[in-house]
Amino acid sequence: MNIPLAITGDRPTGPLHLGHYVGSLLNRVQLQHTHQLTVLIADFQALTDNMGNPQKVRANIVELMKDYLAVGLDPSKVRFVLQSAVPELFSLTCYLQNLVSVGQLERNPTVRSELTARGFERGIPAGFLCYPVSQAADIIGLGGGMVPVGDDQLPMMELCNDLVRKLNTMGANLPLANTLLSSTPRLIGVDGKGKMSKSAGNAIALGCSALELEQAIKMAYTDPQHLKVSDPGRVEGNVVFEYLSAFDPNTAEVEELKAHYQRGGLGDMALKRRLLGVMEATLSPIRERRVQVSDSEALDILAKGTYEARAGAQQVLEHVLSCIGVAQLPPPPLSGVVTVRDEYGGCFPEDNLSPPDVQPLDRGGCGN
């Protein structure tokens, strides 16, 4: 029963791509056999710089779920959680914010480069600056353990463990999170200009069609000096060779092809045809599984994991608040009822405040 815990997450800002596949998804598929893995869809975090585009974030939640299931994450093993639907994480975030300084948040190198990339020099959303605290709350509130992430997440992990140590001086006795860095180097984008990313427009999505795949490979950057088939070509930075190295199971043949290309006499077209075959073999099973998952199936799985997670997060929150020394009210009188006004006009039927007129005040509800 003592399965170690692991937690990781993604922002739902676009479909997952080949970079995610080699960089993290394959690891997760392995990890689900050895750990109780939680995969968090960090929609609140995505909204910290997307408040003007909530429909993008909302729509990508189900796309992410389909990607996860299509690559082989098994819902009977993995707990999928929607961040915004676990309000305990935000209570925790608010208290944790009092344990970091604004200066510390401003020095976070990942946040700094994101701020520059988004042109937020002026008018930084406060929530954006604080999202690393919210991420620490995710990890603490959902149980912590092993956290497989890319190296850009190292400053977040440092902050998280800083907060865990501070809470532990208050008697919380929480485990430090264990960062597991992906050993796979970043996958280069099809344009050869940098790592694959949706925002750079150089990504191949996991759910792309055969035609989209073919077009992407046709455009893939090779060696601009390699004009004639007989010319010697460069392998370094050549996207076709980068992808063959990452995906072609026949590594010996790939090494021979590299040598041949460097000598001259091997054309880009022939290489790209091989690459297309290799990539189709990787992506077609994913694509097939992906279309078999309906929206409602994906969302039901997410809802189930989220409600389970909420119950656990509630316990962590209560424990942390009592260690901090936050005032606690006595439990509601057993016989009495508390009248709750329907201030929201009944907009939140899933909320424990419904039915709106008469309802015992229940701080322990987890919505399921």
Q: Could you tell me the smallest distance in angstroms from the CB atom of residue 42 to ligand TRP?
A: 4
Contact call for residue 42 and ligand TRP (CB under 6 A): yes
Check residue 139 for interaction with ligand TRP (CB under 6 A): yes
SS3 assignment, position 80: strand
Q: Which of 47, 73, 81, 149 binds ligand TRP (CB under 6 A)?
A: 149
93-96 contacts at long range (C-beta below 8 A, 24 or more positions apart) = 93/130, 93/133, 93/134, 93/137, 95/320, 95/321, 95/324, 95/326, 96/133, 96/136, 96/137, 96/140, 96/163
Q: Does 161 bind ligand TRP (CB under 6 A)?
A: no
Looking at the Cβ atoms of 45 and 202, the one nearer to ligand TRP is 45
Give strand ranges (E) for 174-258: 178-181
Query: Is 164 among the residues that bind ligand TRP (CB under 6 A)?
Result: no
Residue of the chain from 147, 286, 298, 353 that contacts ligand TRP (CB under 6 A)? 147
The residue at minimum Cβ distance from ligand TRP is 9
Q: Which is nearer to ligand TRP, 100 or 139 (CB)?
A: 139
The dihedral of CA 236, 240, 244, 246: what is its sign? positive
Using the rule CB under 6 A, is 9 a contact of ligand TRP?
A: yes
DSSP-based helix, strand, coil % in the chain, nearest 5: 50, 10, 40
Give the binding-site size for ligand TRP (rule: CB under 6 A): 14
Binding status of residue 40 toward ligand TRP by CB under 6 A: yes
Instruction: Considering only the stretches 39-47, 182-190, 268-276, 298-306, report the one whose residues sit in contact with ligand TRP under the rule CB under 6 A.
Output: 39-47
**What DSSP string runs through 50-73?**
TTT-HHHHHHHHHHHHHHHHHHT-
Looking at the Cβ atoms of 21 and 261, the one nearer to ligand TRP is: 21
Does 25 interact with ligand TRP (rule: CB under 6 A)? no
d(CA 73, CA 101): 38
**What's CA 324's distance to the chain center, in Å?**
30
Any idea of the CA torsion for 140, 142, 146, 152, to the nearest 10 degrees? -70
Q: Does 84 bind ligand TRP (CB under 6 A)?
A: no
Which residues of the shown chain bind ligand TRP in the complex (CB under 6 A)? 7-11, 40, 42, 45, 135, 138-139, 147, 149, 153
